[in-house]
Structure formats: C-alpha cells, structure tokens
Structure 1
Amino acid sequence: MYLYTAQEMRDLDRYTIEQFGMPGAVLMENAGQKAARALLDRFSEANRAVILAGSGNNGGDGFVIARHLAAAGWDVSVWLSGSVEKMSPETRAFYGVCRKMGLAVKAYDPSRSQELAADLGRADVGVDALLGTGVRGRLREPVQSILRMVKEIRPRYILAVDVPSGVDTDTGAVLGEIAGADLTVTFAAPKWCHYLPPAAKFCGELQVVDIGIPAAAVEHHPPRAQVNTPALWQHHLSPRSPWSHKGTYGHLLVLGGSRGMLGAAAMSGMAALRTGAGMATLGVPRGQEIAMAAKVTEALVWGWPDEAEGRFSGELPPDWEERLNRFDAVAAGPGLGRFEGEGAWLEALLHRTPCPLVLDADALNILSRDLTPLKERPQETVLTPHPGEMARLTGTSVQEVEASRHRVARNLAEETGATVVLKGTFTVIASPDGEQVVNTSGHPALAKAGSGDVLTGVLGALIAQGIPVKQAVPMGVYLHGLAGRLAVTDSTHSVLASDVIAQLGRAIHQTP
C-alpha cells in the first residue's frame, strides 16, 4: 500500500481526471459515499449529525456525506466555512444538491457562533470536512474558532474527512486548533500525517477507502513510500526444504554482552534463532563466556579481547579475518557498553567486515562521534536507532527528530548509504535510494527494555538467511511488531522481551 504526500496525491488525482477521463465529480461522489458508509456501518440507528464543510474539495466530500446521511434518515445540518464563490465546480455542484434537497446549509460567521454551538451540543456525530490535504502554515479564521468550538463542545463521535483539519499532511505538524477524530476516512491511500506525530495522535482509527482511481494511474505515479505489509516481502517466507540443514539458513554473529549487560546479547541471539537463523554465535568479552553459556544453550559463545573488567578492548580478535567466512551477517551493539578505544574498534569492524552489518544501541552511540567510516563502507549496513540515538547520530535533539521523523531518517540513509530503521510507534525504514516504508504492526507492549535487542536479532537472522536487506528489514520490523501484539495475554504492562521472542514463531506462522 502506497503512502502519499499532498502533492503526490494531487498529481494522482489530476492524472486520473486528465488521462483516464474520470470526472472529478465522480471521485468526489465516491469519496463522500464511502465516508458516509463508514458512519452508517458504525451506527445502527439514525442520529443527529453536524457537517462542517469548507469551500475546497474536502467540503465537497462533506456535502456528499450530508446527502447520504440524510437519505438514510439522519437529522443533518451543514455549516459552511468559506464562500460559494471560491468553490470548485464539483464542490459547488454538490452544495447545490444539498440546498435543493432542503438540507439546512448555514454560512458561518462569528455572529452565529451560539447557533453552531447549539447544533454541536445536540449532535451525536460531527463530520470534519473543513480542510483537506493542501493546508500550509497557521490556520486562519474562522476555521480556528470553529475547531476550538468543536474541541470544547465535542460531539460523541467525530469523523475526519481524509485528514483531521489543522494538520500538515506532509510533516504531521499541528497548525493551530485541532479537534481530533475518532475515525479518519482517507481516500485511495494513507498520507504521511496519519503516521507522523503529533498529527497521528488526532486521527483515531484510520480507514482507507477506494474511490475508483485506476490501478494503472497509481502505477504511473508511484510515490517513494509505502506502508509495510507482507505483500512487500512474504515471498521470502517459503516453506523449508526437507533437504536443508543448519548451514542452509545462515550464521549470525552478535557482538555485545559486556559485564552487567549479558542479557541484551543473549536476547538478540535467541531472537535470531527463533526467526530462523541456522546458527548464532555470541561474541562477548573474555571472562563472560561462562556466564553467557549459562544463559543460553542453543547459541555458540566466543570470547573477545577484553579490558579485564568484563568490557571489550579496542581491538578485534587476532583471528578475525580467519573466522569471518563462518558468518553471513554481524549484529553489534546489544549490551556492548562503552570502552577505551571504542572508535577505532568500530572503525575496524566497519572496514573489515565483508558481510552485512546491523548496528544498534552503543554501537550507534560510538558511531555518532564520526560517521566517516560508515560512509566509506561498501557493504550493506543497517542502523536501528530510537529517537535519542538518532538525535546523537544527526547532531540534533529528540524534539527535532520527532518533528520530522521521515525526513531525518531519509537524510541519514542518503548521507551514509545505510538502511535506517527509526524506531517508534510507526517505525520508519529509509533506504539509501530514497524509498521509505512505514510500519504499522507495532504495539505498546514493545515499550519495554530489551525489545530493541530482540529486533536486532530478528533483522540479523533474516539477513543471514540471504534475504536481501530491502526486504529483510521491513519483514523483520513487521514480525517484531506482530510478535509484540501476540505476546499480550493478560496485560500490555507485563509483557517482557522474552515473551516477544517466544511469539516470533506464531508471528511467522500467521503472516499470510
């Protein structure tokens, strides 16, 4: 499923109208009818509805919604913000239909604010069709006042048409007053604001409806972003051959597990095995092998040069190149810690590791001091930062990262040549070629220490199995999120990272 910017959606609409001869009024009718159907499906009895319509195409959708609800027996009143003169021909046509049907269409001005407040107070359902996807800059009056009133006198249920009024479609910024929605019905495909904070918090349930745009038009104007669905990668989840063996499914090396943080590396290793890696080796500082071996039985353990305090030293093992041909992928960071000579250690790892490399946790914090070795690395690398780690990698703040998650991730991927996995409620995956994938399978149960270590192991395992990074990363992020959902039995609060590992098999099995 594609994910659109406002301009990409305008281009798609225009191409559909001009090249396929699909009248704009037909698209508007389809959009309004589908949005009205979403309400009729949720409410078994007729209700009172207030439709708030602007003079743009979003308002045209609102007039269509009003007509369909009225036809179903609802008590409908329509409030117009804006002028009839500024309406598009399609919007003006549907406005005229509502008037001829005898629907109450009232032009808003401040002198009628008490009348609007009374209508909102009586309404069961409010429909926000004030502003569409093209809004930029701070909201102007009277929209500010109307949205403030809706926020204060909130009807029992609010439907937003395409996007909640008051958000920037492309950045997710809130541009002024915002009432928020219980349901957002968006047309043809999701928009960025549905997955970017803070706008995503105001969308409620998201429903994507088909309004008749031909598939050929979509393929002629494909955007650079998609929503993460199994269709992107499920062909790599084929049944295993009865003639296969452990060597068939790759060997992952996990580097981490300094003293006091062995659990992080252990969880990565176990997650890798649960995700199908044929073998996993845990590289830990010398002296930690016995403790690690007591924690895991299925993984191999390899002692690395240490500082005699259970921490890594700044050197790679002397037999590094000799042993490299045993591994199909390397994951570094879970429980790695900070240590003397860490910068040279990571630079050597980046330069002397010929297979794909996944970096997480302290490996990212070390990297943030100097991105040059990463930029010089010809092999594929995956970075998995949370917003704090991303802020360090980019020299910004968490607030700046969260204000533009997709752009920050894309810029870092293009700058470094790495695949970037910016973790969060809707994890953003950015490839060096500028393409992006947004994941929707996550769950609040994953807001627990160790979840990131599990993801690192999952990604490393899929890459070690020979799945291309372009498909392995969205696959791993999706399965990790689904496993988090499946791990919830009694309470979201009590899910542990080990519970998520235990559900990886079910997540793979349940993926179509």
Structure 2
Amino acid sequence: MPDILTASQMRALETAAFNSGAVTGLELMERAGQSVIDALFSSKAELATGEHRAVILCGPGNNGGDGFVIARLLFVLGWQVRVYLYADPEKMPRDAHANHDSWVDLVPECTQRISFPSVLPAEAERFGDEAFGNGEVDVIVDALFGIGLNRPLSGLHPILATCHANRHEAYFVAVDVPSGLGENGPLEAADWSVFPADLTVTFHRPKQAHQNGLSFCGKIMVQYIGL
C-alpha cells in the first residue's frame, strides 16, 4: 500500500471493505465524523470543553454525510451548530441521506438550504452574517467536496469568497481535503477558490491532493478509521 493515495486507490480500499463485510458505509461515515472531532480537539484543546459554536457546510456527496455526522456529534456535546446544505437531500447517496435525516430529525430548525448548483449572492450574504456577524463562531467545517473533485466550484464562489474575507474570524476545518483542491492542485487560479483550511483531517493515508496543495491544507492530520 503506497504512503500517499490517489482518490481511486482510496475508493478501492473502501469498496473492498464494504464487499468483505468488514464495515458498512454508515459505520465508516460515523467513524469519519468522530475522527474529525477527535482531531479538532487534539489540535485545539480549548474547544474540547465549554460551550462553542460551529457552522458546517455540507455538500451533495458522502463528504456532506460526514458533515452531518460531525454536526450531530457536536450538538450532542452541547455545541450550537448550524448546517448549510449545498445539495438536494433527496439526491444524496443513501448513507449521506440517512445522516441528513438523522440530523434534521434531531434539530430541524438548524439547517439552511442554499441554492444548488449556484449559490445566490443574498444567500452568501446571509451565511456571512450568521457565521461571522456576531464574532462568536468558533469553527467552520468544510464538508462540501472530498477527494477526486475534478471541476471548478464556480457555483460556490460567493461562499468561498466569504470564508476568505473572514479568514481570521474562526478555525477552519476541511474534511478529507479543502473543497476546490483537485488531485493535481487547485482547480482554479484564484487562491480564494479553495476553502481556507487551518486543519485538514483526512482518513487512512495522506492523499495526492494534499501533496499538490499543501499551502491550502493548513495542518494535516491523518485519522485511522479501520480500513
């Protein structure tokens, strides 16, 4: 097994684990979400106790499903959590959809849909006001897109630009890889087109995207999830 994995190699590992019966997709998603929280608390010990506030950006795939697990687990720990969903939940993969439903059933009033595939400027302004307006947000989690992304995120430009404009107002955490970073580097030339991570939490092994975009990843922590 190579020390650095491509997206296709990681997916092959996951598929082999599912096919062997070693783990289900839901179990793996739960482990991934918990491992992000473990890494967050290891990196920022002051967040492990007390009341804090998180904003979670969830995308249309399994990375978004990880985000819903993170939201639920932080809420259970006593955090104030707001989710922004960049997806049609009915079109999400089965396991991601299940975790969406678990979150919405738990806290129905704390999820805000944003237009997919193109975020409206007014929605980005609302996101900025709610996430950064009162200066109390502690953590922004990027669970929009994971490894293997191969197209620019032009529809998300207003959200990404808002994150960059408030770069020092919160601790920015990327799940697996910062959104907007492809396997060979940024998918667009502008620095603000990639989520500005302070911490990137990836699973099993470092990924090729990290090596080609180190300046966007912040601190990289590899978490083992039983593959």
The two structures share one fold, judged by TM-score above 0.5: yes
116, 135, 159: which one aligns with 2:127: 116
Secondary structure in 1 matching 2:152: coil
Q: Which amino acid aligns with 2:129?
A: A
Q: How does 1:229-268 map to 2 (within 5 A)?
A: none
Inter-CA distance 181–15: structure 2 relative to 1 (3 Å threshold): same
Conservation of the 8 A alpha-carbon contact between 1:51 and 1:127: yes
Q: How does 1:118-133 map to 2 (within 5 A)?
A: 118-121=129-132, 122-133=136-147
Conservation of the 8 A alpha-carbon contact between 1:36 and 1:65: yes
Q: CA RMSD in A?
A: 1.6
- The answer to whether structure 1 residue 165 and structure 2 residue 192 are counterparts is no
The structure having more radius of gyration, on CA atoms, is 1
Counterpart of 1:82 in structure 2 is 87
* CA drift at 1:91: 0.4
Counterpart of 1:179 in structure 2 is 195
CA–CA separation in structure 1 for the residues paired with 2:70 and 2:54: 10
Counterpart of 1:152 in structure 2 is 165
What is the total number of aligned residue pairs between the two structures? 209
- The alignment's TM-score, normalised by the length of structure 1, stands at 0.39
CA–CA separation in structure 2 for the residues paired with 1:19 and 1:144: 40
CA–CA separation in structure 2 for the residues paired with 1:101 and 1:134: 31
- The alignment's TM-score, normalised by the length of structure 2, stands at 0.87
Counterpart of 2:12 in structure 1 is 11
Secondary structure in 2 matching 1:211: coil
CA–CA separation in structure 2 for the residues paired with 1:174 and 1:47: 33
Q: Structure 1, residues 27-46: CA drift from partner, whole Å, max 9, x if none?
A: 11100011012223421333
Counterpart of 1:210 in structure 2 is 224
Q: Structure 1, residues 57-88: CA drift from partner, whole Å, max 9, x if none?
A: 11001000011111111111000001112200
Conservation of the 8 A alpha-carbon contact between 1:120 and 1:150: no
Counterpart of 2:112 in structure 1 is 106
Counterpart of 1:138 in structure 2 is 152
CA–CA separation in structure 2 for the residues paired with 1:81 and 1:166: 14
Conservation of the 8 A alpha-carbon contact between 2:163 and 2:196: no
Q: Which amino acid aligns with 1:209?
A: Q
Counterpart of 2:36 in structure 1 is 35
Percent identity reads 38
Extract unaligned runs of 5+ from structure 2. Answer: none
Q: Structure 1, residues 100-131: CA drift from partner, whole Å, max 9, x if none?
A: 11150110132433321112204111001111
* CA drift at 1:212: 1.4
Counterpart of 1:376 in structure 2 is none
Conservation of the 8 A alpha-carbon contact between 2:89 and 2:97: yes
